[in-house]
Amino acid sequence: MTNIVVCGVAGRMGQRLAHLSLAAEDLQLVGGKEHPAHASIARDIGEIIGAGRLDLEVRDSLAGLVKADRVVVNFTTPEATLEDAAICAERGTAMVVGTTGFTPEQLEEFKRIVSGITCIFASNFSTAMNVLFKLVEEAASILGDDYDVEVIEKHHRLKVDAPSGSALTLAERAAAGLDRNLREVVVHGREGVVGARTEKEIGMHAIRGGDIAGEHSVLYAAPGEYIELKHLATSRDSFALGALRAARFAATAEPGLYSMGDVLGFS
């Protein structure tokens, strides 16, 4: 049995993680945490997620929730994730982290903090999306410089970071397949008289609207043809189920920083 603690348990992703943990025979929801100022603090998790009373209160800190036999699942903010990671590192508690929007400095600090524990870190935990990551790099390597690359992503209107972490990963994998440094060639959107497209650039475009759970596509275009590789999320369950799959992996894995590719066996 894998014991699960959910950070951001009152949020949309947190609620799905809690629900699916309760539904799984080999998982046990043992706690949940929210920001100290959140209205759910001290309320029963079951009442928050609509699952009936569970006798598990929403806590404002991980301090009383982390143990060596638990896995903390965190899809929150970079600042909160860094705080939670420090507590997990101190107590030797494994983590599954899907937080996006880290600055380069925050990401470096995060990796330093979790270096001594088991941590699965990914921009997207969907199984199908991780297959797409692999296919995008392979396609870029095969098609080569004759094909222009554009990454387009769509998300709900409440998403705070752009481009999405998954879109950045897709662009990084395409750049790797083309032996390019993404930071040197990425172009975020276009406006005005920008001139002809350069041969090496990789375009990035973020769309925000409604309640779109997530749509990502990578376009490879050459004169006379183009190919588009696409992933569409119809609900958050694809991400939540993947994260719980990662939690099962984390419960028995040796300390180290892992990707979802490691969980799926193709990194």
> Would you call 154 a catalytic residue per the annotation?
no
Which residues 6+ apart lie within 8 Å of 51 measured at CB? 18, 19, 22, 45
State how far the Cα of 165 lies from the Cα of 89, in Å rounded to an integer.
24
Whether a cis peptide bond, with omega within 30° of 0, leads into 163 is: yes
| Catalytic member of 154, 155, 205, 216 | 155
- The three-class DSSP label of residue 75 is coil
State how far the Cα of 196 lies from the Cα of 198, in Å rounded to an integer.
6
> Would you call 33 a catalytic residue per the annotation?
no
| Catalytic member of 19, 35, 111, 159 | 159
Which of the residues are catalytic?
155, 159
